């Protein structure tokens, strides 16, 4: 039992002031610990931030009421705590909020009411320590053409507080914060340390109350007497957009005790069509031919109802025996609806891929004669023999052969992207496309066992021959 | 329980548990592993797949899985309820509702709902570290070094912190083999056997890459290689050959085996060619000298450089052999340009084979590139006690447009 971590830390002490306020400035006539009627967690993954909204029933007297709220040993942002009167918004209003100088993690709400009634209030605040993370599990079919993809979210609670039967909403998106919640908490804790003795007294008192609070392993509690008329289904996760963000709302409520984590499946796609492409893109994947699995976050893939949050994906493949072979654990980047997911699973030893430099030569060599500041090209005739002349400009030719051999048992697509520096011309019989001003793409398909030699020549102008950095493609 | 570690505890709480109950375990059953497969196909990651038959009660069940003191990678755990092969109407239907991770424990709890009382076969898959495998080969050549018998062995070393009795070892090659995999034990087994594999033996010299046996006498190292093709024509080609150490033995005239060398074999895909270095040949002598280098000015600081490399070759063996002569173009250029500043901006090498070359065969295409030229020549056998024939071969390379 971690009383010091429990809601004692988040104590709602209602102090009903039955006598004039001026007479009771120091102490409590009557206090209750109303339980939470509901609690909702809205957890942001871009920041260590969770918005907690909880509702409670509180007896309110006509006239002035004083409500004490404290949150020792939690990670609540003290500047974010708010109260609203849900049931009687016009009959009650918050006169002021007092932050006592000697009790840093505490406040008093002074409430004026025109009714004596059992009111429903909503208390909201930000806390840190509750996070969520997406992760995925993909199982490729034996032929690698489809993949079953499970998407999960795992909520981890290190907030110092147990949240029972909480509605859980998860926010995907990058929000802006000017101050981090955990920094605000740290500042508050600094102040708290200075008042250690007084806090110990408070903690001791609250701990006694917390001893009466049911605790334990929430999972076990939930499984008691679990007899149902029909089989329980997985919880549905509804996905809605809000401004620039997406919100995953988990059906029903969840209990997430402090220090526990809970993982739920958010979607399942049975057979996503996978486009496997072998890519050579040194800037993206390093100096290797990477096997890249590509699929779209769309309806055709049984996805597409929300973006795929950033997370790690574990990829397996079914083998001939029906068991699984591990392929890779990879990061999956945030993918918008309709966006492409590209997973680099590394090299495939059954594909031979080597760039062979076949031949180099130079031509269009210009000599510079200091005497007279003249330029003459070798081979043009009218050559002046001058031992002091120097080479001033030339063209370099490099003939390459990209050797590829497909030792796999299926047809493969290969995409090669090469950076070509300088003022260059690429000559080839191949279909070569320009990616940008200095990068070209070569695509090819190889059947089972096929061997290809993709030949091309790069002409680079050097010295005074070079005009500007560019790549021109010349089909032969 | 025989396991050193309480490894996989399946805990079911079937009856009413009070809200105050703290422990996770109301009723524990320990279903034995029905089947364990150790999946060794991925070079870097070993996967364990285990099947257990789990009794379920109608309603929601909690299944605990813990892995204290083992090296399971928790992010890789996959839990699957297998379909009932009988397809009976009364079979238990299940849903995995959630997974919970308790604090400070190597454990998790699956919450599984069941349509009725019964049992379900579940398969738990996870990656584990410390359970590694490596391949090695024993190769035996015949006395003429034309054929080879090849045995592929797998050694599995278990430092994972867990034992697996009667595990199905799946290497991804050939049939699975069932072996007990005890804690901190290693198991080695024959995975594949290949007979009558034709091999081609070659001798190679390359001054820059393989060096000199005696630099003062200009004698090159002559390295021996076996070449084998992983295809059905050569009695291989069923599977790719995993990388591993090859220990090579040769049958002598008395019928016994003699160890002749070892090498690390690289991964060889089906239809690809593998090469094994087996040692240095002393009975083939190749001397290499640069007989000529000549600079021809074109104009100003622009030159052509002519180089002539001479090889004197003697075969002291009583059988003809194939010798591959390789010449590294950048290294040769450095030799003939030794007095010049290296690493200049003029970094491509334009060259051509000159007319003074006396090697009659064409350059080998496979080894050829802008950086290397290679020839294969056949050396005649020594004729008894007669004087060994000394072959003289010349390679003329012209480096063009240098400055």
- On whether residue B138 sits in a domain, the answer given is yes
Does position A471 have pLDDT exceeding 90, yes or no?
Answer: yes
Measured between CA atoms, the residue of chain B closest to residue A327 is B42
Measured between CA atoms, the residue of chain A closest to residue B23 is A217
Residue B344 near chain A (CB below 8 Å)? no
Does position A409 have pLDDT exceeding 50, yes or no?
Answer: yes
| Alpha-helical runs (H) found in B29-90 | none
A182–chain B nearest CA distance, Å: 21
A292 and A355 assigned to the same domain: no
State the pLDDT confidence band at A237, using cuts at 50, 70 and 90.
confident
Question: What range does the domain containing A284 cover?
Answer: 271-344
The pLDDT of residue A219: 30
Residue where a domain terminates, one of A324, A344, A364: A344
Residue B176 near chain A (CB below 8 Å)? yes
The pLDDT of residue B15: 33
* Cβ-defined contact of B16 to A225 (cutoff 8 Å): yes
The pLDDT of residue B84: 73
Residue B127 near chain A (CB below 8 Å)? yes
A275–chain B nearest CA distance, Å: 22
User: Rounded CA gap, B144 and B150, in Å?
Assistant: 16
B292 and B354 assigned to the same domain: yes
Per-residue tokens: A220: 């076990």
Q: What percent of chain A has pLDDT over 70?
A: 82
Residue B385 near chain A (CB below 8 Å)? no
A389 and A411 assigned to the same domain: yes
Lowest mean pLDDT among A223-232, A262-271, A392-401: A223-232
Q: Note whether A71 and A105 are within 8 A (CB).
A: yes
- On whether residue A445 sits in a domain, the answer given is yes
B120 and B150 assigned to the same domain: no
- On whether residue A464 sits in a domain, the answer given is yes
Residue where a domain terminates, one of B195, B220, B237: B195
Q: Of B88, B4, B10, B5, which Cα lies nearest the Cα of B50? A: B10
Which residues fall within 8 angstroms of residue A89, CB to CB, at 6 or more apart?
Answer: none
B179 and B111 assigned to the same domain: no
Does position A135 have pLDDT exceeding 90, yes or no?
Answer: yes
Higher pLDDT, A291 or A2: A291
State the pLDDT confidence band at B255, using cuts at 50, 70 and 90.
confident
Could you tell me where the beta strands, DSSP code E, fall in B130-272? 131-141, 147-158, 164-170, 177-181, 186-198, 200-206, 212-214, 219-220, 223-229, 244-251, 257-265
Contacts of A314 in chain B (CB under 8 A): 75-76, 78
Q: Note whether B236 and B228 are within 8 A (CB).
A: yes
User: Rounded CA gap, B193 and B322, in Å?
Assistant: 29
Lowest mean pLDDT among A72-86, A202-216, A387-401: A202-216
Does position B42 have pLDDT exceeding 60, yes or no?
Answer: yes
A296–chain B nearest CA distance, Å: 24
Nearest to B172 among A156, A225, A325 (CB): A325
* Cβ-defined contact of A383 to B299 (cutoff 8 Å): yes
Per-residue tokens: B75: 């992010």
For the stretch A7-35, pLDDT in tens is 444 444 444 433 333 333 333 333 444 77
B36 and B139 assigned to the same domain: no
The pLDDT of residue A243: 74
Burial class (CB in 10 A: 0-12, 13-18, 19+), B392: exposed
B39 and B143 assigned to the same domain: no
Measured between CA atoms, the residue of chain A closest to residue B109 is A219
The pLDDT of residue A178: 67
- On whether residue A133 sits in a domain, the answer given is no
B122 and B17 assigned to the same domain: yes
Question: What range does the domain containing B74 cover?
Answer: 10-128
B87 and B145 assigned to the same domain: no
Does position A199 have pLDDT exceeding 60, yes or no?
Answer: no
A411 and A303 assigned to the same domain: no
Which residues fall within 8 angstroms of residue A251, CB to CB, at 6 or more apart?
Answer: A235, A236, A237, A238
Q: Which residue has the tokens 């970094």?
A: B347
Higher pLDDT, A474 or A219: A474
- On whether residue A159 sits in a domain, the answer given is no
* Cβ-defined contact of A319 to B172 (cutoff 8 Å): yes
- On whether residue A250 sits in a domain, the answer given is no
Instruction: Kindly state the average pLDDT of the residues B51-69.
Output: 88
Does position B16 have pLDDT exceeding 70, yes or no?
Answer: no
* Cβ-defined contact of B400 to A362 (cutoff 8 Å): yes
* Cβ-defined contact of A323 to B39 (cutoff 8 Å): yes
- On whether residue B263 sits in a domain, the answer given is no
Per-residue tokens: A285: 């994947």
Lowest mean pLDDT among A19-33, A48-62, A125-139, A244-258: A19-33
Residue where a domain terminates, one of A309, A327, A344: A344
Q: Of A100, A71, A60, A98, which Cα lies nearest the Cα of A12? A: A71
Per-residue tokens: A218: 């929430």
A339–chain B nearest CA distance, Å: 26
B62–chain A nearest CA distance, Å: 7
Does position A121 have pLDDT exceeding 80, yes or no?
Answer: yes
Higher pLDDT, B47 or A221: B47
A359 and A441 assigned to the same domain: yes
A415 and A335 assigned to the same domain: no
User: Rounded CA gap, B363 and B381, in Å?
Assistant: 23
User: Rounded CA gap, B123 and B282, in Å?
Assistant: 59
For the stretch A91-105, pLDDT in tens is 998 988 888 877 777
Per-residue tokens: A400: 């390459």
Residue B302 near chain A (CB below 8 Å)? yes
User: In sequence order, what are the beta bridge partners of B78?
Assistant: B125
State the pLDDT confidence band at B284, using cuts at 50, 70 and 90.
very high
Residue where a domain terminates, one of A344, A364, A387: A344
How many domains are there within chain B? 3
- On whether residue B202 sits in a domain, the answer given is no
The pLDDT of residue A43: 92
The pLDDT of residue A260: 93
B136 and B54 assigned to the same domain: no
B390 and B294 assigned to the same domain: yes
The pLDDT of residue A181: 60
Interface size A-B, in CB pairs within 8 Å, comes to 207
Q: Which residue has the tokens 């007896």?
A: A59
Question: To probe the interface with A, which of B41, B76, B100 has the most A CB atoms within 10 Å?
Answer: B100
Lowest mean pLDDT among A272-286, A369-383, A437-451, B238-252: A369-383
* Cβ-defined contact of A326 to B15 (cutoff 8 Å): no
Residue B238 near chain A (CB below 8 Å)? no
How many domains are there within chain A? 2
User: Rounded CA gap, B172 and A350, in Å?
Assistant: 14
The pLDDT of residue A3: 41
Nearest to B21 among A220, A259, A407 (CB): A220
ipTM for the complex? 0.83
B49 and B90 assigned to the same domain: yes
- On whether residue A72 sits in a domain, the answer given is no
Contacts of B20 in chain A (CB under 8 A): 214, 216
For the stretch A335-380, pLDDT in tens is 999 999 999 999 999 999 999 999 999 999 999 998 888 999 998 8
What is the CA A323 to chain-centroid distance, rounded?
31
Distances (CA, A) of A161 to A264, A347, A426: 21, 46, 65
- On whether residue B16 sits in a domain, the answer given is yes
User: Rounded CA gap, A190 and B209, in Å?
Assistant: 67
DSSP, collapsed to helix, strand or coil, labels residue B56 as strand
Residue where a domain terminates, one of B128, B145, B171: B128
Instruction: Kindly state the average pLDDT of the residues B320-349.
Output: 80
Burial class (CB in 10 A: 0-12, 13-18, 19+), A370: exposed
B121 and B168 assigned to the same domain: no
- On whether residue B57 sits in a domain, the answer given is yes
Residue B233 near chain A (CB below 8 Å)? no
The pLDDT of residue A176: 74
- On whether residue A146 sits in a domain, the answer given is no
B149 and B61 assigned to the same domain: no
Kindly report the average pLDDT of chain A as a whole number.
82
Instruction: Kindly state the average pLDDT of the residues A203-209.
Output: 49
Nearest to B299 among A228, A350, A367 (CB): A367
A387 and A464 assigned to the same domain: yes
State the pLDDT confidence band at A47, using cuts at 50, 70 and 90.
confident
State the pLDDT confidence band at B338, using cuts at 50, 70 and 90.
low
- On whether residue B49 sits in a domain, the answer given is yes
Q: What percent of chain B has pLDDT over 90?
A: 58
State the pLDDT confidence band at B25, using cuts at 50, 70 and 90.
very low
- On whether residue B271 sits in a domain, the answer given is no
* Cβ-defined contact of B170 to A323 (cutoff 8 Å): yes
- On whether residue B203 sits in a domain, the answer given is no
Higher pLDDT, B386 or B131: B131
Contacts of B300 in chain A (CB under 8 A): 367, 386-391
State the pLDDT confidence band at B211, using cuts at 50, 70 and 90.
very high
Kindly report the average pLDDT of chain B as a whole number.
86
Does position A216 have pLDDT exceeding 90, yes or no?
Answer: no
Residue where a domain terminates, one of B158, B179, B195: B195
A302 and A409 assigned to the same domain: no
Question: To probe the interface with B, which of A138, A150, A163, A223 has the most B CB atoms within 10 Å?
Answer: A223
Nearest to A231 among B95, B269, B270 (CB): B95
Measured between CA atoms, the residue of chain B closest to residue A370 is B300
- On whether residue A382 sits in a domain, the answer given is yes
Instruction: Kindly state the average pLDDT of the residues B222-229.
Output: 95
Instruction: Kindly state the average pLDDT of the residues A187-206.
Output: 53
Nearest to B300 among A228, A314, A387 (CB): A387
Q: Which helix (H) or strand (E) holds A463?
A: strand A451-463
Instruction: Kindly state the average pLDDT of the residues A220-240.
Output: 60
Residue B13 near chain A (CB below 8 Å)? yes
């Amino acid at each position: 039992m971690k009383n010091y971590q429990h809601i004692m830390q988040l104590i709602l002490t209602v102090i009903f002031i039955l006598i004039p306020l001026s007479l009771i400035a120091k102490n409590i006539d009557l206090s209750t610990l109303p339980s939470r009627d509901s609690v909702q967690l809205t957890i942001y993954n871009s920041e260590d931030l969770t918005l907690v909204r909880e509702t409670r029933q509180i007896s309110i007297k006509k006239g002035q009421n004083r409500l004490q709220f404290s949150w020792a040993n939690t990670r609540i942002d003290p500047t974010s705590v708010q109260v609203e009167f849900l049931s009687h918004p016009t009959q009650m209003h918050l006169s002021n909020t007092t932050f006592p100088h000697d009790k840093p993690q505490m406040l008093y709400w002074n409430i004026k009411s025109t009714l004596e009634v059992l009111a429903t209030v909503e208390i909201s605040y930000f806390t840190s320590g509750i996070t969520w993370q997406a992760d995925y599990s993909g199982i490729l079919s034996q032929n690698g053409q489809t993949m079953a993809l499970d998407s999960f979210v795992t909520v981890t609670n290190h907030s110092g507080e147990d949240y029972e039967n909480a509605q859980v909403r998860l926010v995907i998106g990058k929000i802006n914060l000017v101050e981090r919640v955990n920094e605000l908490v740290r500042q508050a804790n600094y102040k708290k340390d200075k008042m250690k003795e007084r806090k110990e007294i408070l903690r001791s008192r609250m701990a006694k109350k917390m001893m009466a609070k049911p605790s334990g392993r929430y999972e076990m509690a939930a499984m008691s007497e679990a007899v149902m008329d029909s089989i329980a289904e997985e919880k549905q996760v509804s996905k809605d957009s809000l401004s620039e963000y997406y919100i995953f709302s988990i059906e029903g409520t969840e209990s997430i005790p402090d220090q526990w984590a809970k993982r739920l499946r958010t979607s399942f796609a049975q057979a996503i069509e996978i486009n496997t492409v072998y890519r050579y893109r040194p800037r993206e994947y390093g100096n290797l031919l990477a096997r890249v699995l590509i699929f779209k976050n769309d309806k055709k893939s049984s996805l597409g109802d929300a973006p795929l949050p950033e997370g790690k994906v574990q990829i397996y493949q079914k083998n001939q025996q029906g068991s699984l072979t591990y392929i890779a654990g990879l990061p999956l980047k945030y993918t918008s609806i309709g966006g492409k997911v590209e997973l680099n699973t590394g090299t495939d030893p059954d594909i031979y891929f080597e760039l062979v430099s076949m031949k180099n030569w130079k031509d269009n060599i210009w000599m510079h004669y200091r005497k007279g500041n003249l330029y003459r090209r070798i081979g043009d005739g009218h050559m002046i023999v001058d031992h002091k002349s120097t080479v001033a400009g030339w063209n370099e030719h490099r003939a390459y052969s990209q050797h590829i051999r497909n030792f796999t048992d299926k047809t493969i697509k290969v995409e090669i992207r090469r950076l070509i520096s300088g003022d260059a011309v690429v000559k080839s019989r191949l279909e070569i496309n320009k990616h940008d001003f200095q990068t070209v793409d070569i695509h090819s398909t190889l059947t089972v066992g096929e061997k290809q030699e993709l030949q091309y020549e790069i002409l680079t102008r050097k010295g005074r021959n070079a005009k500007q950095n560019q790549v021109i493609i010349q089909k032969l | 329980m025989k396991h050193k570690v309480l490894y996989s505890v399946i805990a079911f709480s079937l009856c009413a548990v009070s809200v105050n109950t703290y422990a996770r375990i109301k009723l524990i059953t320990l279903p034995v592993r029905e089947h364990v497969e150790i999946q060794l196909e991925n070079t870097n990651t070993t996967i364990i797949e285990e099947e257990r038959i789990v009794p379920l009660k109608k309603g929601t069940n909690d299944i605990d899985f813990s892995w204290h003191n083992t090296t399971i990678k928790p992010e890789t755990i996959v839990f699957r309820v297998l379909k009932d092969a009988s397809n009976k109407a009364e079979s238990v239907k299940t849903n995995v509702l959630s997974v919970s991770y308790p604090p400070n424990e190597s454990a998790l709890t699956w919450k599984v709902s069941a349509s009725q009382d019964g049992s379900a076969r579940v398969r738990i898959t996870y990656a584990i570290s410390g359970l590694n495998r490596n391949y090695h080969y024993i190769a035996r050549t015949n006395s003429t070094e034309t054929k080879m018998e090849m045995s592929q062995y797998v050694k599995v070393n278990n430092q994972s912190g867990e034992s697996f009795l009667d595990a199905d070892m799946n290497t991804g090659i050939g049939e699975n083999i069932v072996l007990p995999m005890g804690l901190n034990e290693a198991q080695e087994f024959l995975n594949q056997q290949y007979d009558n594999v034709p091999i081609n033996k070659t001798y190679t010299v390359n001054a820059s890459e393989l060096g000199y046996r005696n630099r003062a006498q200009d004698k090159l190292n002559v390295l021996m290689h076996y070449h084998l093709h992983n295809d059905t024509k050569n009695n291989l080609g069923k599977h790719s050959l995993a990388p591993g150490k090859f220990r090579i033995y040769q049958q002598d005239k008395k019928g016994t085996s003699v160890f002749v060398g070892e090498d690390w074999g690289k991964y060889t895909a089906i239809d690809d060619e593998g090469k094994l270095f087996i040692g240095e040949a002393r009975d083939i002598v190749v001397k290499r000298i640069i007989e000529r280098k000549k600079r021809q000015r074109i104009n100003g600081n622009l030159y052509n450089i002519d180089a002539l490399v001479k090889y004197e070759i003697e075969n002291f063996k009583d059988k003809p052999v194939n010798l591959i002569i390789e010449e590294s173009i950048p290294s040769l250029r450095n030799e003939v340009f030794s007095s010049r500043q290296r690493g200049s901006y003029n970094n491509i090498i334009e060259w051509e084979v000159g007319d003074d070359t006396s090697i009659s065969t064409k350059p080998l295409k496979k080894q050829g590139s802008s950086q290397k030229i290679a020839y294969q020549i056949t050396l005649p056998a020594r004729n008894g006690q007669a004087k060994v024939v000394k072959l003289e071969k010349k390679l003329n390379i012209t480096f063009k447009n240098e400055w």
